[in-house]
Structure 1
Amino acid sequence: MTIAIPSSSLEEFLKLPYIDESPAWEYINGEALQKPMGGGKHSLLQKRLVAVIDAADSNYEAFPELRCSFGNRSVVVDVVIVASNQLPLDESGDLASTGIEFAPAWVIEILSPDQSQTKVTGNILYCLRNGTQLGWLIDPRERSVLVYQPNRLPDLLSGSEVLPVLEGIKLNLSVNDLFAWLQRR
């Protein structure tokens, strides 16, 4: 769904009271857009990715649905990986509740059935142009992952191919491993 907002400024968008209601709203190219709901496969992949990345021995933390506002966009990425020393804190030293105001080190998007691959790819590319080092676009229907890295063409990975991760994260995960999480136990 797309709505017109009173002003085409990111600052005014961020003041709107409903932007963090479920599903969250994003601000892209002067428009407020509500993300489609992900569904079961989306939720399970998101949950498992956050757990496995957080369990890896590293100086990074994974967050589901974290608002990232920088440049002229405010997006809510399915999984965001941020260096621990970059996490914003509030005045009491707790993790700030407003999200982050910089491009995260790594973004992971999981394509939902009703989601535009072009719009999701656009968000990943925007993040890469603003400092993100790695982006994954997971397509559960195709059982494949498009991997985006700065200054190179994307890679389409499937099957037993191992997914690249950020330097310093000890994680060895193939595309098959990722989609095996969707199987009934």
Structure 2
Amino acid sequence: MKDNRSLVLNNTLNSDITISNNSLHFSSVKVSNDGNYQCVATNLFGPNTSPKYQLLVNYGPKSVNISGPVSVVIGSVITATLKCSADSRPTSEYGWKFNNQSVLGTGPMMSVIASLENAGDYTCVAKNPVTNISMSKTISLDVTGHSPAPPFQSRVGLILTALLALSLCI
């Protein structure tokens, strides 16, 4: 039985499963084979069902996706948050790269300060720790606008402009 139902071995879903010497054999394990299996033995006194055996099929990552903005305007936000996800069992471990060089950090989320220096390609690498398979996805983050001048510089510029205007009037 699989998942409390009789296991039908002559259909397309279970075409890679056979029974031999009271054992279940998988010629090619698929994600659809994941589930709880039980053996049912029947004799003159009736059926006897074994305890459940949970088969977990580890896989992936099959696909990697990055969600978040692809464009930010300086001043409209302070940081842009990128989130990486992957279809994988067990859950993938995540790492981030900037412009395919420097490693920025680990984890499924990356916060990027909205500045011109941070415009570029962000790559998320998802790695399944059991299957040892890695897959990556890259997005380009476009940052537009002007970086605000530091407060001291803008005040000095304003004062110098006012002094120049006053000196021209005299």
TM-score normalised per structure 2? 0.20
Structure with the bigger percentage of strand? 2
TM-score normalised per structure 1? 0.18
Q: Which has the larger radius of gyration?
A: 2
